[in-house]
Structure 1
Amino acid sequence: MKLSDFDYDLPEALVAQEPAEPRDASRLLVVPPDGPLRHRGFAELPALLAPGDLLVFNDTKVIPARLVGTKPTGGKVELLLCEPLAGGLGRRWRAMGQASKPIREGTTLAFGELEARVEASEGEGFYVVTLDREGEALEAALARAGRIPLPPYIRRAPSEADRERYQTIWARAPGSAAAPTAGLHFTEAVLAALEARGVARTAVTLHVGPGTFLPVRGDSIEGHRMHAEQYEVRPEAAAAIAACRARGGRIVAVGTTSVRTLESAWRDGAVAAGSRRTTLFIRPGHRFRAVDALVTNFHLPRSTLLMLVCAFGGAERVLAAYREAVARRYRFFSYGDAMLLSRPS
Structure 2
Amino acid sequence: MNSPDLLVNSYDYFLPKELIATYPVTPRDSAKLLVYDRKTDKITHTIFRNILDFIGDSHFIFNDTKVVKARIFGKKETGGKIELLLNRPFEDKFLVYIRGKVKIGTELFFDKNLKAIVFQLNDDGSRLVKFYQNDEEIDFIKLVDVLNEIGHIPLPPYINREDESLDENEYQTVFAQKPGAVAAPTASLHFTDELLNQIENKSFLTLHVGAGTFKPVEVENILEHPMHSEFFEIPEDTAKILDNKEIKITAVGTTATRTIEYYAREKRLFGECDLFLHPQNRPIRVNHLLTNFHLPKSTLIMLVSAFIGREKTLELYDIAIKEKYRFYSYGDAMLII
- TM-score, length-normalised on structure 1? 0.91
Aligned to 1:81: 86
Q: Given the alignment of the two structures, is residue 138 of structure 1 paired with residue 130 of structure 2, yes or no?
A: no
State the 1:216 CA deviation: 1.1
Q: Given the alignment of the two structures, is residue 306 of structure 1 paired with residue 301 of structure 2, yes or no?
A: yes
Q: Is the 8 Å Cα contact of residues 234 and 273 (structure 1) preserved in structure 2? A: no
Matches within 5 A, 1:158-307: 158-195=163-200, 200-243=201-244, 245=245, 248-267=246-265, 272-307=267-302
Could you tell me which amino acid in structure 2 is paired with residue 106 of structure 1? Answer: G
Q: Deviations along 1:233-255, whole A, 9 cap, x unmatched?
A: 11111022234x3xx33111000
Aligned to 1:111: 110
Q: Is the 8 Å Cα contact of residues 219 and 225 (structure 2) preserved in structure 1? A: no
State the 1:120 CA deviation: 1.1
State the 1:283 CA deviation: 1.3
Could you tell me which amino acid in structure 2 is paired with residue 40 of structure 1? Answer: T
Dislocated runs of 4+, deviation >4 Å: none
How far apart in 1 are the matches of 2:96 and 2:301? 25
State the 1:67 CA deviation: 1.1
State the 1:218 CA deviation: 3.5
Aligned to 1:37: 43
Percent of aligned positions that are identical: 42
Q: Over the residues paired in the alignment, what is the CA RMSD in angstroms?
A: 1.5
State the 1:310 CA deviation: 0.8
Q: Say which SS state the counterpart of residue 37 (structure 1) adopts.
A: strand
| Greater CA drift, 306-315 or 178-187 | 306-315
How far apart in 2 are the matches of 1:4 and 1:66? 32
Q: Is the 8 Å Cα contact of residues 68 and 147 (structure 2) preserved in structure 1? A: yes
> Structure 2: where are the runs of 5+ without partners?
1-5, 133-137
Q: Is the 8 Å Cα contact of residues 325 and 331 (structure 2) preserved in structure 1? A: yes
Q: Is the 8 Å Cα contact of residues 36 and 44 (structure 2) preserved in structure 1? A: yes
| Greater CA drift, 272-281 or 133-142 | 133-142
How far apart in 1 are the matches of 2:20 and 2:260? 29
Q: Deviations along 1:93-123, whole A, 9 cap, x unmatched?
A: 1111110x3x111222112122111111112
Q: Say which SS state the counterpart of residue 144 (structure 1) adopts.
A: helix
State the 1:273 CA deviation: 4.9
Could you tell me which amino acid in structure 2 is paired with residue 75 of structure 1? Answer: G
State the 1:156 CA deviation: 1.4
Q: Say which SS state the counterpart of residue 281 (structure 2) adopts.
A: coil
Q: Is the 8 Å Cα contact of residues 98 and 125 (structure 1) preserved in structure 2? A: no
How far apart in 2 are the matches of 1:317 and 1:311? 11
